[in-house]
């Protein structure tokens, strides 16, 4: 489904990003639209290369540079979150572009994004002990997902 159903939170994200693009007088090219759709509607945190491969199924002449440039733009607009992994690879979340905790499987690479209430508490304790004022954070837990636990 690619409708603009306002009840669909994934389509809502696409719509929101498009309006921010227009607002700032950036151009809406077919490549950009496609990249935005992929980033905003993927729940599996794709890599640059995965986005690139996916765009190419629709626009075979698209270059990686365009993917990088679009992602850079979306990062500046705070409409996509870059997840930098300890191994140096990057993956992207355009559905929930604000900092939030991740549970990352070191075996199958599956990522979960649970709603966590004790983040504020941790943040507050950090503020008290350091005197820093924080604008963003990165909270990633690495280990085995339930499925990979069973297998091992």
Partner DNA sequence: CTTCATGCAAAACATTTGCAGCTGG
Partner DNA sequence: CCAGCTGCAAATGTTTTGCATGAAG
**Residues contributing to the site for its own copies (CB under 8 A):** 82, 84-86, 88, 101, 103, 105-106, 112, 114-119, 121-123, 125-126, 129-146, 149
Pattern 54-83, DNA, x by CB under 7 A? -----x-xxxxxx-xxx-x-----------
CB of 102 to DNA, least distance (A): 17
Q: Which is nearer to its own copies, 27 or 150 (CB)?
A: 150
- Per the structure block, which two tokens stand in for 120? 């504020």
Burial status of residue 12 (CB atoms within 10 A of its CB: 0-12, 13-18, 19 or more):
middle
Q: Which is nearer to its own copies, 59 or 141 (CB)?
A: 141
Q: List own/partner pairs for 29-33 with CB under 8 A and 24 or more apart.
A: 30/58, 30/59, 31/55, 31/59, 31/62, 31/66, 31/70, 32/70
Return the one option of DNA, its own copies, none that residue 53 interacts with (CB less than 5 to 8 A, by type): none
Residues contacting 52, CB < 8 A, separation 6+:
62, 64, 67
Q: Which is nearer to DNA, 28 or 139 (CB)?
A: 28
């Amino acid at each position: 489904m690619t409708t603009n159903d306002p009840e669909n939170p994934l389509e809502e994200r696409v719509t929101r990003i498009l309006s921010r693009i227009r607002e700032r007088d950036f151009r809406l090219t077919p490549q950009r639209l496609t990249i935005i759709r992929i980033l905003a509607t993927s729940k599996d945190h794709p890599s640059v290369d995965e986005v690139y491969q996916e765009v190419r199924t629709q626009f075979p002449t698209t270059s990686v540079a365009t993917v990088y440039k679009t992602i850079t733009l979306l990062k500046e607009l705070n409409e996509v979150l870059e997840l930098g992994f300890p191994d140096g690879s990057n993956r992207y979340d355009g559905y929930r572009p604000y900092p939030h905790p991740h549970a990352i499987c070191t075996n199958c690479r599956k990522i979960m994004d649970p709603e966590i209430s004790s983040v504020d508490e941790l943040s507050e304790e950090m503020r008290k002990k350091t005197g820093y004022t924080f604008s963003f954070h990165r909270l990633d837990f690495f280990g085995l997902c339930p499925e990979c636990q069973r297998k091992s």
